[in-house]
Amino acid sequence: MREGGISIIYISHRLSEVPLVGQRVTVLRDGKRIATLPVNEADQDTIIRMMVGRELKEQFPKEETSPGKPI
C-alpha cells in the first residue's frame, strides 16, 4: 500500500500488532497527539510511557495477603 500512496489509520491497544501493520506509530492521549515515531524506534515500554504520561514501574503491584482459615 505504501508504494501506491495509500495510508490507513489503525487504532489498537494490542501493542504487539503495531510493528506488523505500519511504519510509524502515533500516540494520542486525552485527544492530543503526544508523539509520532518510526515503528522501529517505538518499543512497547516507550509506547506505554507515552500513553500514560509517566514511567510505569510496577504494572501489577504485588499485594501482601495472608491465607484465611481452611474451609
Q: Per residue in 3-29, pLDDT tens?
A: 788 888 888 888 888 888 888 999 999
Torsional class of 30: left (φ above 0), alpha (ψ -120 to 50), beta (otherwise): left
Summarised one tens digit per residue, pLDDT across range 45-61 is 889 899 888 887 766 77
pTM of the model: 0.65
Confidence class for position 1, pLDDT limits 50, 70, 90 = low
Give the pLDDT mean for 33-46.
Answer: 92
Backbone dihedral region for residue 26 (phi beyond 0: left; psi -120 to 50: alpha; all else: beta) = beta
Kindly state the average pLDDT of the residues 27-35.
Answer: 93
Residue 42: other Cβ atoms inside 10 A: 20
Residue-level pLDDT at 41: 92
What are the boundaries of each domain within the chain?
1-55
Positive or negative torsion for Cα 4, 12, 52, 55: negative
